[in-house]
Amino acid sequence: MAIAKRPSTEMRERRFEYAAAPEATDHLKIADSYSLFIGGRFVEPHSRRRFATVNPATGQTLSEVAEADDADVDRAVTAAADAFRSWSRLSGAKRARHIFRLSRLMQERARELAVLETMDGGKPIKESRDVDVPLAAAHFFYYAGWADKLEWAFPNRRPRPLGVAGQVIPWNFPLLMLAWKIAPALAAGNTVVLKPAETTPLSALAFADICQQADLPPGVVNILTGAGSTGASLVGHPDVRKVAFTGSTEVGKEIQRATAGSGKHLTLELGGKAANIVFEDAPLDQAIEGIVNGIYFNQGHVCCAGSRLLVQESILEPLLAKLKSRLGTLRVGDPLDKNTDVGAINSRAQLEKIEGLVNSGIEEGAEIYQPACDLPERGYWFRPTIFTNVAQSYRIAREEIFGPVLSVLTFRTPDEAVEKANNTPYGLSAGVWTDKGSRILWLAERMRAGVVWANTFNRFDPTSPFGGYKESGFGREGGLHGLAAYVELD
């Protein structure tokens, strides 16, 4: 006869199952359909066309947004040009007051913006809550501070605004990229027409609502939703004096071709294939966190992601062992769950691109590692992935994957690390992990990359310029450098 025993201390379960901790969404109001934000009002699109925006974690349609055509672009640019006349003559202090108000409202509505960003884009709520939204508000605060100090920012060079800025932003950090674009433009006295990405328009539309709430003069900020053709039309509009684009290198090249000879100012922030270099004397446990943050942050949908890990050969074995076991603790799943570390892939198209490149890595002979983790049945997902035995010539070591896929390569000497790290058409960012300060400086001097992080990765601050070399684009965003892109100087 079996005797039921009281569970002894030893018998108790040792596995710590975190109960679901979903962020509430009941406070959020998403309309069934959205119009275009032109001249301070939401107006019906001339095109009469709308397209759906989908929650990539569930596959469900969240809303329908307008698709702006050439006539809509013309209306918006005209509204911005009209607004420019008064906005550019407003005193810096008054412009600052408006921009400060925008940032305060973003902070007040932070929770709503974070939930919206996560539902529309698939990124974990802990990232939109702790990174995207606070940084976006910080950018507005920072540039608001410059608005009445332009004369001191560029002494003796008579800074003047350029006019209407046409801005096209990507889907990986929708609200943050909006802030990087709009904040310096407004501070310098320009007006803007911004086109958010096709798959993530909702936070920009919420920002349009904030502009109304803040009583920003009509036409200073205009938001046009749409796809590639809307962006092309905006970039090509003759009254746009400045074009700022963040996105793929391929589209960046098209924009450069389209704007060539037009006299338009242009900044491009494009792709990357960053090297994250770990020397044998690195603080290993923190380097592991940096590697994880470098490539799995935002599912690897980060232009400056540390997608090529360069490890000194002498520590490859312990580093890989630690990295693989760390991958086992990453929580992949519902982006709205506060404990989720890796969320959903932004779109089906992106998922297919990642899968294609991962298959090429397997075919070329790299060794793949993925932790065992359950993925939700609906939506778009990809397991955190590590490739070892990767040669410099493989596609996964050369092409931007823009997904949670890390390629591990080795080096023997610092010179070899520099040579391999720079051996890419891109040059956006790099990371170095070592306990030796002199080596950090030595390496940073030799890296052809716009940002070099030392013993950390993927850290951003409004005061720090960000931008690339080579096929990663040109121009800088953030800091004084970012302001310079929106002024004419003597």
Partner 1 sequence: MSLTHLGSLMRGVRSVDQVGVEERAAALAKRSIKKASKLWALDLAIRCIDLTTLEGADTPGKVTALCAKGVRPQPGDASIPSVAAICVYPSLVATAVAHLRGSGVRVASVATAFPSGQSFTSIKVAETREALAAGADEIDMVIDRGAFLSGDYQRVYDEIGSVKEACGSTPLKVILETGELGTYDNVRRASILAMAAGADFIKTSTGKITPAATLPVSVVMMECIRDFSRETGKQIGFKPAGGIRTSKQAIAYLVVLYETLGPDWMTPERFRLGASSLLNDILMQIQKERSGAYQGADYFSVD
Q: Could you give the residue numbers annotated as active site?
A: 269, 303
User: Does the protein bind partner 1 through residue 5 (CB under 8 A)?
Assistant: no
Tracing tokens 């520590």 back to the chain, one arrives at 315
Q: What is the 3-state secondary structure (H, E, C) of 23-80?
A: CCCCCCCCCCEECEEECCEEECCCCCCEEEEECCCCCCEEEEEECCCHHHHHHHHHHH
If the CB atoms of residues 120 and 337 are measured against partner 1, the closer one turns out to be: 337
CB 342, min distance to partner 1, A: 14
Strand partners, 168: 195, 245
> In whole angstroms, what is the distance from residue 443 CA to residue 1 CA?
72
Q: What is the DSSP letter of 459?
A: -
If the CB atoms of residues 125 and 204 are measured against partner 1, the closer one turns out to be: 125
User: Does the protein bind partner 1 through residue 71 (CB under 8 A)?
Assistant: no
Strand partners, 387: 368, 407
| Cα-based angle 397, 400, 401 (whole degrees, multiple of 5) | 95
Tokens of 328: 């086992």
**Candidate residues 2, 3, 19, 372; the one interacting with partner 1 per rule CB under 8 A:** 19
Residues in 443-482 at the binding interface with partner 1, rule: CB under 8 A: 455-456
Only segment of 19-27, 64-72, 255-263, 345-353 that touches partner 1 (CB under 8 A):
19-27
User: Does the protein bind partner 1 through residue 24 (CB under 8 A)?
Assistant: no
What is the pattern of x (binds partner 1, CB under 8 A) and - over residues 314-353? -------x-------x--------xx--------------
What is the pattern of x (binds partner 1, CB under 8 A) and - over residues 103-142? -----------------------x---x------------
CB 172, min distance to partner 1, A: 21
Nearest to 284 by CA among 233, 239, 321, 330: 321
User: Does the protein bind partner 1 through residue 438 (CB under 8 A)?
Assistant: no
If the CB atoms of residues 251 and 302 are measured against partner 1, the closer one turns out to be: 302
Strand partners, 14: none
Instruction: Decide if 235 contacts 168 (C-beta within 8 A).
Output: yes
If the CB atoms of residues 108 and 130 are measured against partner 1, the closer one turns out to be: 130
User: Does the protein bind partner 1 through residue 16 (CB under 8 A)?
Assistant: yes
> In whole angstroms, what is the distance from residue 163 CA to residue 83 CA?
10
| Cα-based angle 311, 315, 318 (whole degrees, multiple of 5) | 115
CB 283, min distance to partner 1, A: 4
If the CB atoms of residues 2 and 11 are measured against partner 1, the closer one turns out to be: 11
**Candidate residues 217, 236, 283, 376; the one interacting with partner 1 per rule CB under 8 A:** 283
What is the pattern of x (binds partner 1, CB under 8 A) and - over residues 397-436? --------------------------------------x-
CB 456, min distance to partner 1, A: 7
User: Given its phi and psi angles, is residue 363 left (phi above 0), alpha (psi -120 to 50 degrees) or beta?
Assistant: alpha
User: Does the protein bind partner 1 through residue 229 (CB under 8 A)?
Assistant: no
> In whole angstroms, what is the distance from residue 264 CA to residue 296 CA?
36
CA atoms 50, 56, 59, 63: torsion sign: negative
If the CB atoms of residues 130 and 250 are measured against partner 1, the closer one turns out to be: 130
CB 284, min distance to partner 1, A: 5
Strand partners, 454: 432
CA atoms within 13 A on the CB side of 438: 0
User: Does the protein bind partner 1 through residue 9 (CB under 8 A)?
Assistant: yes
CB 11, min distance to partner 1, A: 11
Contacts with partner 1, residue ranges (CB under 8 A): 9-10, 12-21, 126, 130, 281, 283-287, 289-290, 321, 329, 338-339, 435, 455-456
